[in-house]
């Protein structure tokens, strides 16, 4: 699904809304630039399986550090 990605801030409890991977990247980057301007963007990506909802067990916290991904897209 297109809205299966959620990004969690590595510095505080902030989480983006569910959205596409690219939307989440923009949101978490915006959050970092506002809330943690001196911290390298990082954190955890959550991927939701299926679209029926209501099943917290379907959540997978991948624990992906996406710093490298973001850095690559900047340059
Ligand atoms: Zn934060």
What is the distance in A from the centroid of ligand 1 to the CA of 10? 6
What is the domain count for the chain? 1
Residue 22: CB atoms within 10 Å = 11
Query: What gap in Å lies between CA 41 and CA 24, rounded to an integer?
Result: 12
What is the distance in A from the centroid of ligand 1 to the CA of 54? 26
- Specify whether the CB–CB gap between 31 and 16 falls below 8 A: yes
**9 is in which domain, residue-wise?**
5-74
| pLDDT tens-digit readout, 22-71 | 999 899 999 999 999 998 888 888 887 765 555 554 555 554 555 555 55
Query: Which residue did the predictor score with more confidence, 54 or 7?
Result: 7
What is the distance in A from the centroid of ligand 1 to the CA of 42? 9
Q: Is 42 left (phi over 0), alpha (psi -120 to 50) or beta?
A: beta
């Amino acid at each position: 699904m297109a809205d299966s990605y959620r990004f969690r801030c590595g510095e505080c409890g902030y989480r983006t809304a569910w959205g596409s991977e690219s939307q989440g990247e923009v949101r978490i980057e915006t959050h970092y630039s506002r809330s943690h301007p001196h911290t390298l963007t990082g954190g955890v990506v959550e991927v939701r399986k299926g679209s029926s909802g209501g099943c917290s067990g379907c959540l997978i916290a991948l624990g992906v550090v996406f710093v490298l991904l973001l850095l690559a897209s900047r340059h």
